[in-house]
Structure 1
Amino acid sequence: FYQLTGILFLLASSLIFAKGGKILVIPQDGSHWLSMRPVVEKLQQNGHEVVVVVPSTSLYMKPKEPQNYTVKLYPTPYAEEHLAVVLKSFVNAHFIEQSLLNIIITMYQSILEMSRFFFTNCKSLLHNEDMMKYLRESKFDVVFTDPILMCGTIIAEHLSVPSVYFLRGLPCGMDFEATQCPSPPSYVPRLFLNNSDSMTFAQRVKNMLVRMLEFVYCKPIFIPFEELAYEIIQKKVTATDLLSRGSVWLMRYDFVFEFPRPVMPNMVFIGGINCDQKKKLSQ
């Protein structure tokens, strides 16, 4: 009884003296930000000091919108019209009816173009001396980021603070590679193949070949970020190395809707977090 009372007293004391932390948010534009924004707003409401770093030109991250968190802008070398053209091209590439091979080629080309575009954003931020000085001097407790293009991951490494990832997934299964989760090609289908987790021998061979190709066609996406990371943190790291630093992975999907596979304890499934909250029925 006395031991239980002591534990409860310690817990109560810790809650009394608890205070909010300083959270640096490095979001990704587009639908990624629309998913992350409610979480950021809730963090601020819960007493945390939240600073969101966004580019001066963006699709949805508008600093003029009413918000209860701090927004820091950094300049980018392109106009909003150019951003709209790039995004329209990216979206259109996903709705063209064509063969499987052409779908893969078209989507790969559009992803490369989009990654180059957002790499420009990341480079502009990391080369902005005033902004980087502010981030270093602010002594943030954690970086909350969407790691799809790793800018927040690089900043977390540079600032030597833990990072929390908020994501749906990463290209080429890098989320499972970075967390060292087993993802055997014999049982886990690769993207675009439309296989189930019960594959024939021929489907497994095809699945394995696509997995091997991922080592080739994913490299051009992440090489620029690896080089930028080396420039900033003065240490050779791979994209997988950087991503593996994530302390908590908040996965925006439900485990029951995915193919069964092992996951790590720091991977938390939050599927449904963006579902619209309906009002309670009157009766």
Structure 2
Amino acid sequence: MAPAGFPASLPLCVCLLLASGFAQAGRLLVVPMDGSHLFTMQSVVEKLIHRGHKVVVVVPEVSWQLRKSLNFTMKMNSVSYTLKELSHCFKFFAHNQWKTEEVGMFSLLKNPGRGFFELLFSHCMDLFSDKKLVEYLKKRSFDAVFLDLFDVCSLTVAKYLSLPSVIFARDILFCHYLEEGAQCPSPPSYVPRGGLKLTGTMTFTERLRKHLAYKGEHGFCPYFFKTARKIASEVFQIPVTMNALFNPVSSWLFHRDFVLDFPRPIIPQMVLVGGINCHQGEPFSKVCCLSFST
């Protein structure tokens, strides 16, 4: 189902933009997230450039892995924190995260180092404060925005520019916003939720535990994304919810494989691209077959 305000064929057009040999060179805006999230998108971006698409990447000037490339246009925006502060916040968060065996969104909320995410979310206000950069993006007439699921700022950028967006992510079990925004069925009694260490075969107690965790997300997730929602509301000058940011997304590319994950419903706009980050192996050497006769 296409989002309201966009033509029904929009998801197909976006997929064709990312497909080989089906579309002319287009203009793609990429808003990546630093760290390991960047590596999962890099191979796709490089392939798009190789096929002739024009790519503009917007990154904060303070980052770990985001480096200038000769293959695409990079636009940088200043931020209010230093690399030392970014690294310190991350190390503090990671240290406290590894001390507990609990995983998932709830552990992030209880982690005393969650200020790391507040720091990441804050760069969005710095981006929109750069009026020259914002005007540049508005005048470039992009065809779509390629973004990371966890970086809420990229969703804000796509909505602000009224552009179709393509999300590249590992899974769809991220809070409840993605499955609700995508209108993707996710029955709490059937689909295992991430971080609970449950399988597709659950007892009644396990199903009840998962259902309570799902309900708990509706209370915890808005608090986790409080800073991101506040910034988006300031950008649009109206109260903005997370569902309002996720609803306009046109397509989802998931680097997962249905063979390795639990079965679950997906909608046509969701495309599984498992193995896209695997190293391209070399062809097998030729084998000489010998026949022996008696």
Query: TM-score scaled to structure 2, two decimals?
Result: 0.83
Comparing both structures, which one devotes a greater share of its residues to helix?
1
Matched residue count: 265
Q: 1:75 — aligned with what?
A: 78
Counterparts of 1:261 and 1:17 in 2: how far apart (Å)? Answer: 30
What is the Cα deviation at residue 104 of structure 1? 6.8
Counterparts of 1:95 and 1:230 in 2: how far apart (Å)? Answer: 33
Cα 1:272–1:67 shift into 2, 3 Å = farther
Please list the CA deviations of residues 190-231 of structure 1 after superposition, one character each: whole Å capped at 9, or x if unmatched.
233212122111111111111111111111122322232222
Preserved CA contact (<8 Å) 1:171 1:218 = no
Q: Percent identity?
A: 38
Structure 2 spans left out of the alignment, 5+ residues: 1-19, 287-294
Equivalent of 1:43 in 27, 44, 48: 48
What is the Cα deviation at residue 151 of structure 1? 1.1
Letter in 2 for 1:42: K
SS class of match (1:218)? helix
Q: 1:10 — aligned with what?
A: none
Preserved CA contact (<8 Å) 1:189 1:196 = yes
SS class of match (2:74)? strand
Q: 1:185 — aligned with what?
A: 188
Preserved CA contact (<8 Å) 2:106 2:220 = no
Q: 1:138 — aligned with what?
A: 140
Cα 1:109–1:128 shift into 2, 3 Å = farther
Equivalent of 2:167 in 165, 168, 172: 165
What is the Cα deviation at residue 97 of structure 1? 4.5
Letter in 2 for 1:143: V
Cα 1:148–1:16 shift into 2, 3 Å = closer
Structure 1 spans left out of the alignment, 5+ residues: 1-14
Counterparts of 2:21 and 2:33 in 1: how far apart (Å)? Answer: 35
SS class of match (1:249)? strand
State the superposition RMSD in angstroms: 2.3
Cα 1:218–1:92 shift into 2, 3 Å = same
Q: 2:274 — aligned with what?
A: 271
Counterparts of 2:276 and 2:58 in 1: how far apart (Å)? Answer: 23
Q: 1:11 — aligned with what?
A: none
Preserved CA contact (<8 Å) 2:25 2:51 = yes
What is the Cα deviation at residue 18 of structure 1? 5.8
SS class of match (1:237)? coil
Equivalent of 2:214 in 198, 208, 211: 211
Letter in 2 for 1:218: C
